Amino acid sequence: MKEKTNIRDLFSSAAERNTFLKICAPMVRYSKLEFRHLVRSYGTDLAFTSMIMADSFCKSEKARLNEFTTNEEDTPLIAQFAANNTIDFLSASEMVYPYVDGVDLNCGCPQRWAMAEGYGSALLKTPELIADMLGTVRRNMPSTFSVSVKVRLLSSTDHKRTIDMCRQLEATGITFLTVHGRTAPEMTKVPVHKDALQEIKQSIGIPMVANGDIFTLDDAEQMYLQTKCDGVMTARGILSNPALFAGHSSTPVECVKRWLNICQQADTDITYQCMHHHFSFMTESLLTKRLRYELNNLSKEKQKVYEFIQTHLPLDGVVDDVGSGRQYPEKISCTYSERNYRERTTVVNGGRKDDSTAASAGSLYDPEASEGNFFQSKRVELDATTPALDGDGESTVDGVDFMDGGCILFDE
């Protein structure tokens, strides 16, 4: 079992220092072990895994190997699960317990498939079910182990509805909760409702993490000052700039060099998609649009990406005292027991053996099967404008509107 970090103590320590926890959000495809190492080297205090389907995690060894990896330095760490019933959430939490410092329930993802299957934002319609899942896990896990939930606003105008829900969830004994400052239908162009976040914080007694529209350290500090939150979580901002919490306004070349070192060490442990997408996001401010277009359309060979980065960015002249020559520890070989899950599902099925082959939409979900709309939105921008670029490659591009997290697979 990995050495544990007490998440409640992290919040207490930050409060004593009159500051807030800096948190990297759970992002499908992107919040992997290697990226967690990178952002921690730039001031991130707490990291989440990607959102993991709890039913897949319980049923499939392949899913566990694909969706969760860790090592001895990968702490503080919270595993986020998407679940729509108590058995899946409790069983997945028990299985991952030896390797993380807490578990989190996703009640914010507004994707259509998730909503249809009763995951993510769909759960906000049944707060009693959320409370049952959280309370069951809380009662069955050690008190020092963090149990938390991520929600959205129920209304942008009637704050009382969200406050009442948060109080109901607080009563289950959770360690903290995260609130995204928009409703599920609201687009990213709608500003985060900081007044609602402030009211929620004033109405509960546990730590609250604020999420939404955090692209710089100044954004995080302003969120803290205005809402009095205990932590600030970022998703899109830290994808584009993993050094955000260190105070960098855009990605420094040193950060790209550090990511290159991490990827080369990880070798086959990191997928091409994960490696390539992160390079694409973090070099937005460092490459011309024409070069970004070339990077996004490279053939799927890791070495070609590495050579492209080394050719077009001045990595050799960068001194990185933290990341240069850094050797990361080996992954832990995680072992899991499905016994409790099998026993629970047998009871629920009236003694019939659980049919793991009859997978639900959740357990069939493969986040690596497509490139994801966040990456695709960037590609669309470049595809539409690259042929018309002028010589210096600095023409202005309008952003691409998309649902707030609805197709990106993270709640930002």
Q: Kindly report the CA angle at 86 between 82 and 89, in degrees rounded to 5?
A: 40
Specify whether the CB–CB gap between 80 and 52 falls below 8 A.
yes
| d(C-alpha 112, C-alpha 122), whole Å | 9
| d(C-alpha 355, C-alpha 174), whole Å | 32
Specify whether the CB–CB gap between 216 and 249 falls below 8 A.
yes
320 half-sphere exposure, CB direction, 13 A CA radius? 23
Q: How far is residue 93 from each of residues 136, 146, 195, measured CA to CA in Å?
A: 11, 11, 33
397: which residues sit within 8 A by CB, 6+ positions away? 289, 381, 382, 384, 385
Looking at residue 101, the DSSP 8-state letter turns out to be S
Mark residue 393 as left, alpha or beta (left: phi above 0; alpha: psi -120 to 50; beta: remaining): left
Residue with tokens 């004033």: 202
Q: Kind of pairing, strands 77-82 and 46-48? A: parallel
Specify whether the CB–CB gap between 59 and 359 falls below 8 A.
yes
Question: Token pair for residue 26?
Answer: 């759970």
Question: Token pair for residue 251?
Answer: 């990605």
User: Which helix (H) or strand (E) is 53 found in, with range?
Assistant: strand 52-53
Q: Enumerate the active-site residues.
A: 109
35-63: string of b/e by CB count within 10 Å (b at 16+)? bbbbbbbbebbbbbbbbbbbbbbbbbeeb
Specify whether the CB–CB gap between 130 and 107 falls below 8 A.
yes
